[in-house]
Amino acid sequence: MDRDFIGFPDDSTGEALWGKKLSGDDLTKSREIEFTVVFPTENEALSFGESLLLNRQKVLLCDSKESDDYPFEIVVFVELTPTHQSITEYQELLEQYASPLNGLNDGWGCIV
């Protein structure tokens, strides 16, 4: 199968989606996608999480074991059809709200 670089660009999101397609995932079906944003302090993470909760988003506060500099993470659960555009646009939205609180996007994932 030849890769469509418009639907599956040469970046980490495009690579992940292409891998899912090759494994037989029906990417036209909506599902819950988890987006992770990490923060240096718990207060910053809580402020970010609160803004998401006020917008009726499903969130989870976790301790991150991956980084001493960013030990707190907020996981946001969103129902989306997994396209490069939808994932990228949601990550950009999260970044707009997280950046003033020193937050960094730390990836996304979903289970079929």
Backbone angles phi, psi at 69, to 5 degrees: -80, -25
In the numeric block, which tokens belong to residue 45? 């993470």
Give per-residue pLDDT as tens, 18-63.
Answer: 999 999 999 999 999 999 999 999 999 999 999 999 999 999 999 9
Give per-residue pLDDT as tens, 84-103.
Answer: 999 999 999 999 999 999 99
CB 76 within 8 A of CB 62: no
Can you give the pTM of this predicted structure? 0.91
* Lookup result for tokens 């992940």: 16
In the numeric block, which tokens belong to residue 64? 């991150």
